[in-house]
Copies of this chain bind each other. A is one copy, B any other.
């Protein structure tokens, strides 16, 4: 295992996009092609059997295969040559029949991306599960909401987790939709006409698609890459979403904030020089992997500009960028899942941080309470003045408010206290949490129903 795969990916995703898996997927294409052509009477059934038999197993010397691909400019040439040599009997005359190298490569990529999407969905459901658990557990854990890196208004940690959950659920739905909309067989022959199959092209295509469980597209799409582009773009959006959760965790885990910490484990998060540190290692690796993934998505997008009927450069760049994109996206999702699943939440620190402003964080609550009587503008001015006095005199907002006759003329001390209780100024936070949890239940059900 390469260091970068260990750090920024997962074992299943690394395996799904390994050279071995790529070769296996291309051989799956060749075997399915033979079966489909036998079934449609294009090649003899015996020949197909011989081809299918030769496709089985991990028999290719991957290193030699890689080296031979270089002068060929495509891995399919050495693959087909080696496969042909391996096929017994007449079958060797029908290897790769009517197909072009891009048919094998693109279909293999689609098969790999299908695995990749399933792995991502599975891991995302794990993230969602962890978020849901946190949301339920912390329905009532009040903390500071922060805007522009400043304390703004109270929220709950449950709401924060619920918003992550809603974000993740929408990503699950997005990937699930792509699985239906954007996966497709590639099969067009050398210039996309299936010319070498004469009139049999469409029937072979249907059967081949069925063999592989991939949708048959209306037309070959060798240089119309919007399917690959859409999947890459969705990975980028997913990585950006996951990066947001990782960023929040890193900010909450700062020494001065201390509201969350990652689970301690032997060998985890220690520092080589600072024995007291507990670094948020999972969130860091998630943040790094998410950055990498977000950076790889545009490589695929800009490679979409592909020439004529087969591209000279853009298509080939996908062979590197798409696997790297899946690998790093998976790493980001997995590490955020780990971080959330083992998260230590510190409600006492949340409360202490919330108290730090001496009530300023609920000044809007006071402002709204006043506004009901004095109008938004006047209320804003009164509270602004009280805030200023509180800051200047180093007193809390309650004291400053009680000292202002313009405020006390419309609000009683009890009303002021009520207005300054963070836990009473949470608006629809509870409703929002409920909605996110309900959506998760629905999404989970949909996914498990559709799972193959």
Q: Which residue of B lies closest to A100 (CB)?
A: B273
Q: Which of A151, A163, A304 has the most CB of B within 10 A?
A: A304
Is the pair A294, B290 in contact by a Cβ cutoff of 8 Å? no
Whether A402 sits at the interface, judged by CB under 8 Å, is no
Is A137 interfacial (CB 8 A cutoff)?
no
- Interface segment among A111-119, A307-315, A444-452: the answer is A307-315
Contact between chains at A237 and B230 (CB < 8 Å): yes
Nearest B residue to A164 via CB reads: B224
Q: A56 at interface (Cβ–Cβ under 8 A)? A: no
| Contact digits for A334-372, partner B, Cβ 8 Å, 1 yes 0 no | 000000000000000000010011001101110110010
Stretch touching chain B among A88-96, A120-128, A207-215, A406-414: A88-96
Contacting pair B380 A218 (CB below 8 A): no
What are 17 of the A-B contact pairs (CB < 8 Å)? Answer: A2-B19, A6-B66, A71-B266, A72-B268, A77-B270, A93-B374, A94-B376, A145-B190, A145-B191, A147-B309, A149-B308, A194-B427, A273-B364, A276-B357, A276-B363, A283-B312, A291-B299
B376 touches A255 (CB 8 A): no
Q: How far is the CA of A252 from the CA of B106 in the complex (A)?
A: 25
A interface, size bucket: 35 or more
Chain B nearest Cβ from A264, distance in angstroms: 10
Q: Is A244 an interface residue (CB 8 A)?
A: yes
**In the bound complex, how far is the Cα of B103 from the Cα of A147, in angstroms?**
13
Could you tell me if B310 and A148 are in contact, using CB atoms closer than 8 angstroms? yes
> Judging by beta carbons under 8 Å apart, are B100 and A272 in contact?
yes
Interface residues of A in 50-109 (CB under 8 A from B): 62-63, 65-77, 80, 84, 90, 92-102
Chain B positions within 8 Å of A367 at CB level: 196, 275
Contact between chains at A279 and B150 (CB < 8 Å): yes
Say if the beta carbon of A329 comes within 8 Å of chain B.
no
Contact yes or no, A377 B84, CB < 8 A: yes
- By beta carbon, the residue of chain B nearest A424 is B195
Contact A280 B149 (CB under 8 A): yes
Q: Give chain B residues whose Cβ lies under 8 Å from the Cβ of A139.
A: none
Does A152 belong to the interface (CB within 8 Å)?
yes
Interchain CA distance A170-B97 in the complex, whole Å: 30
Contact of A275 among B295, B306, B380 (CB under 8 A): B380
Do the beta carbons of A195 and B365 come within 8 Å of each other?
yes
Q: Is A41 an interface residue (CB 8 A)?
A: no
Residues of B within 8 A of A265 (CB): 71
Question: Which of B190, B255, B296, B297 interacts with A364 by CB under 8 Å?
Answer: B190
Q: Which 7 A-B pairs have the closest CB atoms?
A: A93-B375, A240-B304, A145-B191, A287-B313, A147-B310, A233-B233, A295-B299
